[in-house]
A = this chain, B = another copy of it.
Amino acid sequence: MGMGRPREFDAETALDRAMEVFWRHGYEGATIAQLTEAMAINPPSLYACFGNKEGLLKAALDRYTKLRGVWMDEVVAAPTARDVAERMLMGIADKQTDPANPPGCLLVQGGIACGTGSENVPFELATRRAQNEDQLRDRFVRAKAEGDLKPTSDPAALARYVSAVSVGMGVMASSGADREALRQVASVAVQAVEAQSGS
């Protein structure tokens, strides 16, 4: 018995193309026709490989968070809570205005509000954003233990705050805000973390 005809496209590069379409148009705004054209394949290949449109989104989200995870590891490696916040928010200011990528963040842009039948897409996005926040919280817990943050500070609240600012910057970027505007926001935002630093 044979092993069948091998696929003629590379799944990872196809995912990268799909990721960009979701990133730019959102989940419901992206059509199968756009996706297959960007991926340079035909619908049956898409469905054989990813199941359906939502499966393709999940695969794209996984790839996105995996790539961002590498960067987040560098972020939380900063020496102090303040530096973590600065590195993250300034990095976001740069990344979300990088013309190499669609503006904003896929985890926001992908689709906040969805129509009936796609209710769990926002949930998928929120879950992945929460992972980021957890990583940040763990880092701030450590900062508090090390005396880098005040004993009265709330690491979870700080993490939520930095995460919220990130999301806000993502929406700004998708609305056309330039890098300087985002850096201003990041710069001010860091001051709140700074206010919780020292003993």
User: In the complex, which residue of chain B has the Cβ closest to the Cβ of A126?
Assistant: B175
What is the interface residue range for chain A against chain B?
35 or more
Whether A184 contacts B171 by the Cβ 8 Å rule is: no
Copies of the polypeptide in the assembly: 2
Q: Which B residues lie within 8 Å of A118 (CB)?
A: 29
Whether A114 contacts B171 by the Cβ 8 Å rule is: no
Would you call A58 an interface residue if the criterion is a C-beta within 8 Å of the partner chain's C-beta atoms?
Answer: no
Would you call A194 an interface residue if the criterion is a C-beta within 8 Å of the partner chain's C-beta atoms?
Answer: yes
Whether B110 contacts A30 by the Cβ 8 Å rule is: no
Whether B113 contacts A25 by the Cβ 8 Å rule is: yes
A138 to B96, alpha carbons, bound, how many Å?
Answer: 27
Would you call A69 an interface residue if the criterion is a C-beta within 8 Å of the partner chain's C-beta atoms?
Answer: no
Whether B112 contacts A188 by the Cβ 8 Å rule is: no
Would you call A72 an interface residue if the criterion is a C-beta within 8 Å of the partner chain's C-beta atoms?
Answer: no
Say yes or no: A184-B161 contact (C-beta < 8 A), given A112-B108, A115-B26, A192-B189: yes
User: In the complex, which residue of chain B has the Cβ closest to the Cβ of A188?
Assistant: B161
Say yes or no: A160-B175 contact (C-beta < 8 A), given A26-B112, A111-B113, A112-B109: no
Whether B113 contacts A174 by the Cβ 8 Å rule is: yes
Whether A176 contacts B126 by the Cβ 8 Å rule is: yes
Would you call A154 an interface residue if the criterion is a C-beta within 8 Å of the partner chain's C-beta atoms?
Answer: yes
Question: Of B160, B163, B184, which contacts A157 at CB under 8 A?
Answer: B184
Would you call A195 an interface residue if the criterion is a C-beta within 8 Å of the partner chain's C-beta atoms?
Answer: yes
Say yes or no: A164-B161 contact (C-beta < 8 A), given A26-B113, A109-B112, A115-B30: no
Seen from chain A, the residues whose Cβ lies within 8 Å of a Cβ on chain B are 24-26, 28-31, 34, 104, 108-116, 118, 122-123, 125-126, 129, 154, 156-158, 160-161, 163-169, 171-172, 174-176, 181, 184-185, 187-192, 194-196
